[in-house]
Amino acid sequence: MQRNRRAAFLPPKEEDLESTTDEDSTTDEDEDDGGGGGGQVGGHARPARHQQRPAKRLKRDDDASTGVADDGSDRSGKCGSTPLRSLEKRVSPPATRETRASVTFGSDVETEDEDEVESEKEKEDGLVQHVAGPRNVRVTPTEGQLEETSSTAITQKGTTFVPSPIQLTRIRDLPPAANIDTVALRDIVGDPLIVEMWQFNYMFDMDFLMSSLDEDVRRSMRVKVIHGSWRREDVQRQMLEEWAKQYPNLEVIQAYMPEAFGTHHSKMMILIRADDSAQVVIHTANMIAKDWTNMTNAVWRSPLLPLLPENTSESTAGNNANESGNIKYPIGTGQRFKVDLLRYLSAYGKRLAALTKQLVRYDFSAIRAALVASVPRRVKLDDRNPDEQTSWGWVGLREVLSQIPLTSTTRPSKGMTVAQVSSIATLDQAGAWLEHFRSILESSKEGPSPTFSSLSTTSSTKPANALSSFQKASNLLRPSSGGKATPPDFRIIFPSVTDVRTALDGYRAGGSIHFKTQSAAQRKQLAYMRPDFCRWNTSKNPMTALRSSAAPHVKTYVRYATTARGDGTEQTTIDWAMLTSANLSTQAWGALPAAVKTGDGEAKKGRKDKQDGENGKEVRICSWEIGVVVWPALLAEGEERKEAVMLPVFGRDMPEVDNLRSDDVGGEKVVVGWRMPYDLPLTPYAENEEPWSATARYDEPDVKGCVWPGF
């Protein structure tokens, strides 16, 4: 009997489709977040196309209604039952993690034909106009199954175990056992001590976001939204303007978008708290219910950052460190993170001057991560100053990776770098950009690993000696791969058609995953990338992340090393890992170096003899992106005498003694976990498998009985 089939989404009404200009021919990011768009929000009357955005934020009115119903996530009371119930709650740092009841520790791409690249909004409108409203994504643990635990390091028999610096987001339709140590949006923004929240993202559903705030501060918290929807007819922009009227405490800020083919794709929160602390959150999810429900995403959260002493000078505070040149902080320290973050925020101009001024007052020294970001501009390679500040795009990524020593050089090993993304943009037909980007991922520092004591400096001391164990970043114009070491293999994790069809949300999840394969040029790109492709859904693997059925929107880049154990098995370690908003795209990471052009569009004259290599060249970046890079030595605070190693961990955040090599047990070391969003070992594509393409048509019904007509 023929199965009754229906489309995975209803086609949009003609009047709902947006008019398209040349900037819509954009990229991978368009391709990345295809699942939501302005229509995701639903439930509001569509404003007129020419409606003007308020010139100023509306005056706050604490008595005004927000129009947000209580979502009842984990509260026993009903809406409006007891006023100020949050005052009865225990006040603590960021929400604790859910974990096992007993844990035992042992002794845009710019393409050749830009008109080919579709607008992200066009892709998303067809799906999101009919998506249901916000849902509560919190999973309540069954009694006895889960318990709260500390997220701090634990030392057992000389070995210190450090939890993963990132967490996966909670999946609504998976059981509690698959959601150990995961985080929901309410866990991040639901603290009643948050008084001001800055949200950087591509897509927003403000009703969903507001419903995740504590109800006692929902109407008083100062909420700032930074977006990139600059066209007045953009549905997302119109909806944000309507929400600004609905929520008097909401201010909508449009990012500077100089590139027609760029997007504001960064995903970051900055939270200012009433207890004189602040927190930076970098993640991979759009601020829409879909991304926080059944899509795999991940979150990095800084420690709570205290205020600096009142007598701290501006230069020590990091306000002018990237300009004065008097203070040089090593990559990976909190002070360097602050310099790079303030510089990133300064790229928005006066729009974010108030936030930048606030953050200068906070002490970032507890952060252990390197910031890697992109802003829409041209990076002149001759003007880099990596000893003091990190460049944008792949140039900055190379500067960071070139400071990271490989922890696997002491034993024979085979290396592998893995790019796990939710979107692959149209690059080129020959593979030149991808080969160059692969060489960036192979960059590393030559020589011994620096001890953590050489990294650790306080905000009140000058880090002059902290550079002694670091290779001078300004000398790193070429990527290195650890001397004569064999270059690591390269793999790309990208979901196949089967992976999407069998996901929890079926084809609907594919609206957020993009790789065009229809044109002849795109098929050529697929041909050279296909040998590197690996599946997302590999549920039969022994090391499972329990996320095979939750389609990926997370983006990670990791360098692995696999060495032989004494018992004949293999041990996989991690040399460095990155969580970022950036997919595989020239808009996100930057194009290949090109000659610097003068105002008339001609290449600068008189430099022909200096333009071999990268001299006299620049890198064009179109989009806003942000991410963090971590490596073992960074997270071994106070354990500088111990060997530091980072291990992939599955189903939890804390590594265990069972993760260690048999010949490593009992030694003094620091073992850092990296929460895996995908399974190991990787599963290459079979000969008959194809990568998912949201623009293609799929007639085989998915798990919901739907078909996919294609964008």
Question: Residues comprising the binding site for substrate?
Answer: 267, 555
**Cα gap 118→486, rounded to integer Å:** 39
**Cα gap 210→128, rounded to integer Å:** 19
- Give the CA count within 13 Å in the CB-facing half-sphere of 334: 26
**DSSP-derived pairing of the beta strands 706-707 and 6-7:** parallel
Phi, psi of 15 (to 5 degrees): -75, -15
**Cα gap 659→137, rounded to integer Å:** 31
- 503 Ramachandran zone, left/alpha/beta (phi>0; psi -120 to 50): beta
Chain centroid to Cα 475, Å, comes to 29
Q: Using the structure block, give the residue that is written with the tokens 């004949």.
A: 568
Q: Using the structure block, give the residue that is written with the tokens 């819509």.
A: 24
For CA atoms 37, 39, 45, 50, the dihedral sign is: positive
CB atoms near residue 378 (< 10 Å): 16
Peptide bond preceding 165: is omega within 30 degrees of 0, i.e. cis? no
Phi, psi of 31 (to 5 degrees): -75, -20
DSSP 206-241: HHHHHHTS-TTTTTTSEEEEEE---STT-HHHHHHH
Phi, psi of 543 (to 5 degrees): -100, 95
**Catalytic residue annotation:** 265, 553
- Give the CA count within 13 Å in the CB-facing half-sphere of 493: 27
DSSP 526-541: HHHHGGGEE-S--TTS
**DSSP-derived pairing of the beta strands 222-227 and 194-200:** parallel
